[in-house]
């Protein structure tokens, strides 16, 4: 089962993708996490991506396409994958289509997590992240409930970067919705509610579309 989690920053894609990963045992490919690991390791890619990410901008398409090409070639993707954070632009989507065709694969479903902009700003501004596993927690949380690590604020969760992330999403990423709607792949899911409620809606959408593992 090949899934794409699509939605604005802060819509809960990462959280839902993790739940799908546990339920269906297929890898969760999160380009944001891949980039953050490169930044933490201080690789040439990480050094290039760091200031772009901190400002809430987009890393160049060719770099991102290279990352995804390598990731999809890994053996754990044979039975499916959950893509989160890629594609983010029309050229990325076109390149991904070509790549999937080369690999004789295709998306089974695009799950669109719908959340109003005002709610996104509320969620992102002040959200805290565990530096170990990158999980995020509501504003005001100080330590990671899983391992007690001191939580940090991601540079791109600071107010100016949040504003830029939403603007660039509306300009560059929102057009992908029509791109995938034209292919009849999109299930729209209300992204407001508890994590379990939203997970339930995701599973219902997959059943309704007759997408099974
Ligand atoms: P969010 O979806 O909450 O904005 P992510 O963790 O998915 O955060 O991504 C963090 C940052 O990584 C983005 O703001 C961007 O700078 C960079 N990034 C991730 N994926 C891509 C991509 N496909 N194209 C360009 N930049 C990307």
β-bridge partners, 153: none
Q: N- to C-terminal Cα distance for the chain?
A: 5
Answer yes or no: is the C-beta of 52 below 6 A from any ligand 1 atom.
yes
Task: Parse the chain into domains and list their residue ranges.
Answer: 2-115+173-212
Q: Which CATH architecture has domain 2-115+173-212?
A: 3-Layer(aba) Sandwich (3.40)
For residue 156, give the ligand 1 atom closest to its CA: 14
Selection from 212, 195, 181, 170 nearest residue 58 by Cα = 170
pLDDT number for residue 64 = 97
Catalytic residue ranges = 13, 88, 127, 154, 165
Q: What is the pLDDT of residues 144-183, one digit of tens each?
A: 998 999 999 988 888 888 999 999 999 999 999 999 999 9
Which residue is listed with tokens 């999809």? 72
Q: What is the pLDDT of residues 81-140, one digit of tens each?
A: 999 999 999 999 999 999 999 999 999 999 999 999 989 988 888 889 998 888 888 888
């Amino acid at each position: 089962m090949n899934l794409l989690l699509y939605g604005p920053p802060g819509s809960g894609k990462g959280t839902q993708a993790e739940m799908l990963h546990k339920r269906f045992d297929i890898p969760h490919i999160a380009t944001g996490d891949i980039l953050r690991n490169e930044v933490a390791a201080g690789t040439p890619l990480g050094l290039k991506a760091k200031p772009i990410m901190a400002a809430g901008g987009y890393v160049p398409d060719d770099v991102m396409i290279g990352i995804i090409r390598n990731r999809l070639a890994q053996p754990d993707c044979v039975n499916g994958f959950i893509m989160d954070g890629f594609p983010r632009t029309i050229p990325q989507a076109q390149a991904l289509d070509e790549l999937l065709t080369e690999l004789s694969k295709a998306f089974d479903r695009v799950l669109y997590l719908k959340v109003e902009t005002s709610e996104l700003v509320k969620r992102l501004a002040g959200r805290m992240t565990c530096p170990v596993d990158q999980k995020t927690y509501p504003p005001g949380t100080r330590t990671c409930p899983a391992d007690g690590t001191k939580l940090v604020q991601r540079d791109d969760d600071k107010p100016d970067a949040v504003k830029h992330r939403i603007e660039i999403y509306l300009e560059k990423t929102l057009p992908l919705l029509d791109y995938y709607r034209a292919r009849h792949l999109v299930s729209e899911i209300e992204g407001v509610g508890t994590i379990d409620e939203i997970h339930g809606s995701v599973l219902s959408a997959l059943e309704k579309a007759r997408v099974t593992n």
